[in-house]
Amino acid sequence: MTARRNKKSPRRRRDNRRRKVRNLILTLIFLGLSSALTLFACCEDEPSRGFELADSDLLAVTIPDETPEITKQYTGFFVSFNPTHHLPNYVAWELTAEKANGQFPRNNAFRPDPDVYGCPTLNDYKGSGFDRGHMAPAADMKWSEQAMLDCHYLTNMCPQDHGLNGGKWNSLEQMCRTWALRDSSIVIIAGPVLTDELPRTIGASGVSVPERFFKVILAPYANPPRAIGFIMPNSPVNDQIEALAVSVDQVEAITGYDFFSALPDEVEAQVEAAANYKNWTRRKR
């Protein structure tokens, strides 16, 4: 007995092809929507600042041509070092929310950097009456064991009055970590004001003792982006931190430096002119 082949009609074959095409289209649409939703979910909490810029560009500082400078990139921060004053011209770093939550313990491995000409020695600070004041603080470097070691190089230090180092300077460092947690990332640049008369020195190296310090802070992911500056005397400060706040423009006028020049011109002009401390202390909405 011969089996009979069950042939499909042309109409049925057309219907099957149409069904397959329709199912394929629906599948592609579903996959496309799924991918879009996944991308949206991944990016929903990502900060946006409305312009494209590498964070490392924001660490760049333009200083006067005549200023002595040796530059070095450490783990977690960048130093422009002045071998004449044996101090940093400035120290720059990005502090993210993740870094502000670092768990590595602090060490006190203060030491000179043998690779940087003019770096002071531990004996320069010994018995001087001044603290080895961090510009990039150790508490900002708890995210990495190497960063913690690097931040104790004396290229990151300035002779600092203990009343300032343990007082308002420390308070501002703590506030910066709070701001980093809130705004996801901030850029910080700090250093001594080297345009002042610096008659005092310490140690055999003749390390200059700053009269004042500056710090500028940029929140590039805030909406809108914002920046603020601070000038503090190298002495105990009784004023509230708000009274020490100035615009970045004012810090630039005092130091002769140009900060955040990588920002779009209109953004730079806006953020550097403002010094609204209350905008920094408000809770994130």
Q: How far apart are CA 25 and CA 30, in angstroms?
A: 9
Q: What is the 3-state secondary structure (H, E, C) of 131-157?
A: EEEECCCHHHHCCCHHHHHHCCEHHHE
- The three-class DSSP label of residue 39 is helix
DSSP line for 226-250: EEEEEEEESS---S-GGGGEE-HHH
152 has catalytic annotation: no
Distance, in Å, from the CA atom of 154 to the CA atom of 170, rounded to the nearest integer, reads 18
* Alpha-carbon distances, residue 161 vs 40, 132, 189 (angstroms): 50, 9, 20
**CB neighbours (10 Å) of residue 2?**
4
Which of 85, 134, 152, 162 does the annotation list as catalytic? 134
Radius of gyration of the chain (CA): 28
Distance CA 217, CA 227 (A): 5
β partners of residue 213: 192, 232
- Within 8 A by CB and 6+ apart from 127, the residues are none
**Catalytic residue set:** 134
